[in-house]
Amino acid sequence: MIHAFFDTVFYLPLYNALVWLSAILPGHNLAWAIIILTIIVRLVLFPLQHSMSHTQRKLRELDGTIKGIKEKHVKDNAEQARQIMLLYKEHGINPFAGFLVLIIQLPILLALYWVALAGSNFDPTLLYGFVTKPEFLNTSLFGLIDVTKASYSLAILVGLSQYIQVSLTLPPLSSEQVDKTSLKDSFARSMRVQMKYVLPVFVILIATQLPAAVSIYWLTSNLFSIGHELYVNKKARLINPGKLKS
């Protein structure tokens, strides 16, 4: 039942959109169809992603204030939670917004990944009545890369873009996290290293085993996220915990 729901609501609409784009684009180029479809999906999800990024930035800027509340009410967990929730309310923060946005985005992005993975193997039985399969399909990117086969060069670009995206997204370590040797702070530093350096290498290894069509989707999505993070960082202003209301 879940599989049928996922196919009906997420996979099939994106699958048909890819076939339709491939049919109407000059030259019926699959690579450009994947790029355009990825950008369209990311633009649709942009308001949700932007809201989540804005909330995360607010939370990072309020870390010091939250820490002060915890230290002040260290023996009263109920009052500690009440004060933190009042702080969230004062600054218009929904602490569960990021989780809800992730739940909404994940199936859509996962479906887009599977669509890219399907590549040029268009199945006529999955097409809507008004969608026509292109008579021929150009599976070449710039005449250099066959998107139906793995590409090491694209895989490296995907890993590099993943590194840049993570670097922009990860919050900076506080001086306490850098200096302290507690298990919690050591774990935070370890996770940061793995996200920033190990994950991109892992992504490269995966991309080298998949069709370049997936790498194109991955790279386009990462570049969109990088552009968004740069935009957020440029527009962000330092938060004064006593004054911020937006």
**Residue range 52-107, pLDDT digits in tens:** 777 777 777 777 787 888 787 777 788 888 888 888 887 777 766 666 666 777 78
pLDDT digits (tens, 9 = 90+) for 12-63: 898 899 999 999 998 889 899 999 999 998 998 888 777 777 777 777 777 7
Rounded Cα gap, residues 12 and 112, in angstroms: 10
Instruction: Report H helices in 25-150.
Output: 30-61, 63-72, 77-90, 97-118
The lowest-confidence range among 8-22, 181-195, 220-234 is 181-195
Q: Which pLDDT value is given to residue 163?
A: 92
Question: Exposure of 210 by Cβ count < 10 A (0-12 exposed, 13-18 middle, 19+ buried)?
Answer: buried
Q: Which pLDDT value is given to residue 139?
A: 85
Per-residue pLDDT, averaged over 191-212, amounts to: 86
CB 168 within 8 A of CB 224: no
Question: Exposure of 107 by Cβ count < 10 A (0-12 exposed, 13-18 middle, 19+ buried)?
Answer: middle
Q: Which two tokens stand for residue 200?
A: 């991109």
More confident residue, 123 or 32: 32
Give the three-state DSSP class for 138.
strand
Q: Which two tokens stand for residue 19?
A: 């076939």
Q: Which helix (H) or strand (E) holds 140?
A: strand 140-141
Check whether 244 has a pLDDT greater than 50: no
- Sign, CA dihedral 224-225-226-229, equals positive
Among candidate residues 231, 211, 54, the one with its CA nearest the CA of residue 139: 211
Backbone φ and ψ of 146, nearest 5° = -85, 115
CB 204 within 8 A of CB 154: no
Rounded Cα gap, residues 56 and 60, in angstroms: 6
CA 42 centroid distance within chain: 9
Rounded Cα gap, residues 110 and 101, in angstroms: 14
Q: Which pLDDT value is given to residue 153?
A: 93
CA 205 centroid distance within chain: 19
Q: Which pLDDT value is given to residue 223?
A: 94
Please tell me what DSSP assigns to residue 173.
P
The lowest-confidence range among 2-11, 157-166, 231-240 is 231-240
Q: Which two tokens stand for residue 56?
A: 């995360």
Give the three-state DSSP class for 141.
strand
Rounded Cα gap, residues 19 and 66, in angstroms: 50
